[in-house]
Every structure is written in structure tokens, then in C-alpha cells.
């Protein structure tokens, strides 16, 4: 493996960095699914990225891309993360687009991929149900054929972007008599369709997610993604892209940088916190873990650039990044002491209160996109060849 950037990739990274330093504001950084949600500033910024050809640089030109190596996508994600930002339309770009590319009909590719590449539309995920959390194969939402349409009824929960996205990436059961994993299909649903109701759910970190209700919602058959009753497997492909791209290591680095700066500037009993051996030890340990995570992430990205689907590696990346984020934020809270519990808006809150908010939000990382427990079972079974546990659902 060679992780070095080519000359052209290095030039792209420099040009992108200069653009981000000029265009990226704090408000845009916060307009993402785990914070404020996507607003007009984030949408405008996404369209600027799209206009430069950067959102889909690695996609084929016929679908709005530039036909460049996957490395360009990796550079875009990491350079944004280094500045505390996501791709504003990251669900559509990083999860849905690649899955449509692999499994969608030519009609769906032509209809959706260029608009994703231009930063014009965003998607929300419709997987989890009240009685089917991490066991997605147990979902019960029904999609019944009726002429040229499917009629869909049921409920989804924890669908975070549904109050501002244009489309719902929806999984529903199309064959109730088939084995659980083999009776699910994937659909693209226009969120303005009659019969859809979105109700807010608020998390402990202040993030809005949603319950979504379908009451006889008609969806044209042409919006079926991939094969009927193969949706569970297509959904797993999309989730693998999510695990690799939505939790970049660089997004966590800013917390360590903030803690280091705080330790240098803050006095306790007449000495800087940075001279406390316990604090130095903990921060150094997290620096090591961040470096390890960066290498794991780079390896998975390199595998994609070589045409390999890093299913196990994406699970490893997701576990490591999200659990390490929780450990790091816990340590930063210790460094900040009682002041770390102050929320943004308080004049006494260190680092503008970002640590308190992200400390609470970090709980989601080890649950959404596949819990750490399920991913460890996946790694054990598919990566290490260990037997499947009887209580574990396997594809």
C-alpha cells in the first residue's frame, strides 16, 4: 500500500484547502445531521462544491463526475473533517449515490446521480422501526404491489434528516412469507408524497430526529432500487459506505487540539495543566489512537481505490472511530473539569461549549449505522471465520 498522494492529488488538496479556508463558516460546519441539520447556508455551500466538480470527482462523467480516483473523495472528506465539517449532503453523496451507482437502474442513475453530484438534493435513511432496531431484518413496514405502484404502510423511527431532505431511502417488506433477510426491498420515496407524516424526536444532545408514518403512500415501481426482495443486501452495501465515510477520524482531531491548547493556557495551583503528568499521559495516549485510526481509515480508502469493497475494514473503522471519540471526549471533559459541563452560550464555557454538546452526541456513534456489538459479531464471523452465534442474525 502506498498512502502518498500523487502530484495532481496534492494540488487538489491545496486548492481545496484554500477554498475551504475562504468559504467554510462556523454556521456551515454546524449544518449537518448530527447538529443543526441542513439549512440554506449548507445547501449553498454544497452547490459550490458541486459546481467545481468536487462532490463527485470519483464518479463517471456520464453521471456528473470527473472520473478521477477515489482518493479525491477521501481528500474531500478528510479536509472538511479537519475543519470540523461534513459534506453538507453527505448521506446522498457518500451512501445513497454509490449504492444507486452499483444497484440502481439506468433510469435511476440518470435521474438522481447528476443532482447528487451538483449538491442539489439530500436523502434521509428509512431503516429503523419501533420493533426492529439493530435487527433490521425484523422490519415490518409493508410495500404491496398495486398496478404501476407500490402502496406502503407503516412507521419508521430515528430518521434524522426527514424534516429537510427531498427523498427517503426507504426499506420495506415486499414478501412477508420469505425468510426475514430475503423479503425486503429498497425504494426512493419523494418526501412530498401524500400520506407521509413526520413527527420530531429530540435527543439528549439537542439533535432533532424523527418518527415517520406512511399511510397508503404510493411509490412508482420505477423507484425500486435494485432487485425486489434483495433490499436487505443492497442496504448493507449502503451501510458499509456509511461506516467508512460518515465518521472520519479527522472530525475527532479538533477535540484533542482544543484540549491541548486549553491545557497549555489554563493554570491550576500556579502551574499550567499541561505540566500535570496524568493529563499529559492521557492526551498522548489519544494522540496515538488518532494516528492508528488514520492509518486504518487510509487503508480502507486505498482498498476502495483498488476496486475492493472493504466490508470488514469499514466495520473496524466505524468501531474504532466512534469508540475512540467517546474515550477522547471523556478525557477532554476531565481536563476541562466542572467547566466542561457548561453549555454553549455560557461565557464561562471553555471551547465555546462544543465539548459538552459533542460529549452527549457521541453516544449515537456506537449505535447508528450498526451498533458496536453487532459490528464485532460481523468482524468475528466474516473476518475471523468464527462460528455464528445463535442469537445473531446473519445475512
- Active-site residue list: 242
SS3 at position 195? coil
DSSP letter for each residue of 295-324 = HHHHHHHHHHHTT---HHHHHHHHHHHHHH
Residue given cell 453527505 in the structure block: 90
Phi, psi (5° rounding) for residue 163? -85, -5
The length of the chain, given as a count of residues:
395
| Calpha distance 194→152 (Å, rounded) | 11
Q: Are 71 and 7 in contact (CB under 8 A)?
A: no
Q: Are 171 and 162 in contact (CB under 8 A)?
A: no
| Calpha distance 145→38 (Å, rounded) | 34
Contacts of 172 (CB under 8 A, 6+ apart): 139, 141, 142, 143, 150, 152, 154, 184, 185, 187, 231
Contacts of 271 (CB under 8 A, 6+ apart): none
Hey, CA dihedral for 47, 48, 53, 59, is it positive or negative? negative
* CA angle 226–228–231, rounded 5-degree value: 65
Residue given cell 471533559 in the structure block: 333
Q: Are 345 and 353 in contact (CB under 8 A)?
A: yes
- List helix spans (H) across the chain: 7-23, 26-30, 40-51, 71-82, 90, 97-103, 106-117, 231-245, 250-265, 277-305, 311-336, 354-361, 372-378
Our measurement of the distance from residue 82's CA atom to the centroid of its chain's CA atoms, rounded to an integer in Å, reads 16
Amino acid at each position: 500500500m502506498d498512502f502518498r498522494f500523487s502530484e495532481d492529488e496534492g494540488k487538489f488538496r491545496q486548492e481545496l484547502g484554500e477554498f475551504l479556508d475562504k468559504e467554510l463558516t462556523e454556521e456551515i460546519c454546524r449544518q449537518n445531521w448530527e447538529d443543526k441539520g441542513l439549512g440554506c447556508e449548507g445547501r449553498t455551500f454544497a452547490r459550490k462544491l458541486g459546481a467545481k466538480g468536487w462532490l463527485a470527482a470519483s464518479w463517471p462523467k456520464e453521471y456528473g463526475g470527473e472520473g478521477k480516483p477515489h482518493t479525491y473523495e477521501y481528500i474531500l472528506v478528510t479536509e472538511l473533517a479537519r475543519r470540523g465539517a461534513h459534506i453538507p449532503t453527505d448521506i446522498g453523496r457518500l451512501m445513497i449515490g454509490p449504492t444507486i451507482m452499483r444497484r440502481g437502474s439506468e433510469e435511476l442513475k440518470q435521474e438522481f446521480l447528476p443532482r447528487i453530484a451538483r449538491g442539489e438534493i439530500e436523502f434521509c435513511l428509512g431503516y429503523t422501526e419501533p420493533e426492529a432496531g439493530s435487527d433490521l431484518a425484523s422490519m415490518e413496514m409493508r410495500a404491496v404491489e398495486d398496478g404501476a405502484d407500490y402502496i406502503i404502510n407503516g412507521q419508521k423511527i430515528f430518521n434524522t434528516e426527514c424534516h429537510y431532505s427531498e427523498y427517503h431511502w426507504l426499506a420495506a417488506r415486499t414478501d412477508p412469507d420469505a425468510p426475514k433477510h430475503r423479503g425486503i426491498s429498497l425504494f426512493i420515496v419523494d418526501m412530498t408524497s401524500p400520506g407521509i407524516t413526520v413527527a420530531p424526536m429530540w435527543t439528549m444532545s439537542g439533535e432533532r430526529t424523527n418518527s415517520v408514518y406512511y399511510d397508503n403512500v404510493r411509490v412508482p415501481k420505477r423507484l425500486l432500487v435494485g432487485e425486489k426482495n434483495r433490499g436487505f443486501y443492497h442496504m448493507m452495501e449502503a451501510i458499509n459506505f456509511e461506516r467508512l465515510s460518515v465518521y472520519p477520524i479527522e472530525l475527532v482531531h479538533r477535540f484533542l487540539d482544543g484540549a491541548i491548547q486549553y491545557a497549555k493556557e489554563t493554570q491550576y495551583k500556579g502551574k499550567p495543566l499541561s505540566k500535570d503528568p496524568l493529563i499529559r499521559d492521557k492526551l498522548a495516549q489519544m494522540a496515538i489512537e488518532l494516528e492508528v485510526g488514520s492509518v486504518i481509515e487510509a487503508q480502507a480508502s486505498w482498498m476502495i481505490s483498488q476496486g475492493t469493497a472493504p466490508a470488514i475494514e469499514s466495520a473496524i473503522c466505524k468501531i474504532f472511530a466512534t469508540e475512540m471519540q467517546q474515550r477522547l471526549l471523556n478525557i477532554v471533559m476531565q481536563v476541562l473539569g466542572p467547566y466542561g459541563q457548561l453549555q454553549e452560550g455560557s461565557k464561562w464555557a471553555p471551547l465555546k461549549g462544543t465539548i459538552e454538546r459533542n460529549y452527549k452526541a457521541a453516544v449515537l456513534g456506537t449505535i447508528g449505522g450498526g451498533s458496536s456489538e453487532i459490528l464485532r459479531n460481523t468482524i468475528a464471523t466474516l473476518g475471523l471465520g468464527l462460528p455464528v452465534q445463535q442469537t445473531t442474525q446473519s445475512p
